[in-house]
């Protein structure tokens, strides 16, 4: 009986894995099918038999307009169980990016944590939280590869968005499941208050998107679904700036966002929320100084 039970369990685990791995390959096929980007593999995660490349994508430099083109850094899938950002970025590159090609050049990490994406875990395949690993001697290879690629690109970004989600079951760093919002919200880092566009990004959301109205989100001060840094930051872990957003804000961009949608919503709604935020940010940043 025990053996039979183990066999059944084994088959179940295998089939789960196969389904997840197939999802990753389907996502990867969409990356490889993109016709308007340069594709680089920054590193490869090896997990049992499978190999999962971490991709970095760049849209073309405008031949006539390169000096005026604004660089934008976009990323998704840092936490493997938060997939909407990955799908939003792919949809954006497939359908919408060409419309912005004259004014913006996009630098994209579509899925920073492919091992986690394939298995549905927040952490990478080695059990590390990549979004606490953007630091010297990083414990997470994916973070190290992303930092190396950013160094190779060697440029400043007019803004960045790191697309995340809120799993309802997440607990850690002093927070319980009840502390997880079930609606959308945004972090905006920008020292110059006049330059901030977070309120416009929230106001521009489609009417059916509910925004978090809590006054505190994971310890940080929030107003109408917007957490503004640096002054709204009371979460000590985020203050360490070892998230991708924190790293970018410290080194490569004076204006950064982390976007959050709840995993409880249908995928279509989550993707639509991320795309709305991105498009409003592009409208607002259009024509600004590089």
> Which residues bind to Zn ion, rule: CB under 5 A?
79, 82, 164
CB of residue 192 to Zn ion, shortest distance in Å? 27
CB of residue 82 to Zn ion, shortest distance in Å? 5
* Residue 253 vs 258, nearer CB to Zn ion: 258
CB of residue 1 to Zn ion, shortest distance in Å? 41
**What's the maximum distance between 2 C-alpha atoms anywhere in the chain?**
72
Identify each DSSP E strand in the chain by its residue range: 37-47, 50-59, 70-76, 104-109, 159-166, 185-189, 216-217, 220-221, 226-229, 256-262
- With left for phi above 0 and alpha for psi between -120 and 50, is residue 115 left, alpha or beta? alpha
CB of residue 170 to Zn ion, shortest distance in Å? 8
Buried b (16+ CB within 10 A) or exposed e, 198-218: beebbebbeeebbbbeeeebb
Buried b (16+ CB within 10 A) or exposed e, 145-164: bbbebbeebeeebbbbbbbb
* Residue 130 vs 205, nearer CB to Zn ion: 130
* Residue 79 vs 270, nearer CB to Zn ion: 79
* Residue 79 vs 128, nearer CB to Zn ion: 79
Joined together, the tokens standing for residue 2 give 């025990």
Determine the 3-state secondary structure of 162 from DSSP.
strand
* Residue 141 vs 158, nearer CB to Zn ion: 141
* Residue 79 vs 144, nearer CB to Zn ion: 79
CB of residue 181 to Zn ion, shortest distance in Å? 12
CB of residue 131 to Zn ion, shortest distance in Å? 6
């Amino acid at each position: 009986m025990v053996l039979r039970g183990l066999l059944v369990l084994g088959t179940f685990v295998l089939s789960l894995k196969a389904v997840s791995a197939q999802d990753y390959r389907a996502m990867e096929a969409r990356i490889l099918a993109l016709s308007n980007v340069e594709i680089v593999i920054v590193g490869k995660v090896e997990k049992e038999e499978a190999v999962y490349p971490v991709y970095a994508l760049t849209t073309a430099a405008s031949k006539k307009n390169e000096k005026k083109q604004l660089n934008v850094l976009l990323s998704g899938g840092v936490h493997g169980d938060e997939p909407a950002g990955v799908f939003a970025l792919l949809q954006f590159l497939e359908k919408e990016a060409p419309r912005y090609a004259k004014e913006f050049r996009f630098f994209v990490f579509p899925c920073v944590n492919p091992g986690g994406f394939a298995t549905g875990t927040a952490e990478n395949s080695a059990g590390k939280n990549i979004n606490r690993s953007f630091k010297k001697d990083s414990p997470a290879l994916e973070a190290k590869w992303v930092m190396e690629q950013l160094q190779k690109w060697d440029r400043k970004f007019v803004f960045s968005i790191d697309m995340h989600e809120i799993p309802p079951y997440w607990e850690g760093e002093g927070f319980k499941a009840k502390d997880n919002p079930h609606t959308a919200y945004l972090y905006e880092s920008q020292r110059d208050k006049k330059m901030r566009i977070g309120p416009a990004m929230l106001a521009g959301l489609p009417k059916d998107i509910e925004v978090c109205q809590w006054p505190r989100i994971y310890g940080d001060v929030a107003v109408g679904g917007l957490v503004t840094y640096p002054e709204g930051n009371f979460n000590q872990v985020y203050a360490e700036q070892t998230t991708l957003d924190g790293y970018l804000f410290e080194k490569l961009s004076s204006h950064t966002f982390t976007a959050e949608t709840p995993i409880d919503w249908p995928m279509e709604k989550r993707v639509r929320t991320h795309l709305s935020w991105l498009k409003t940010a592009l409208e607002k940043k259009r024509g600004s100084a590089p």
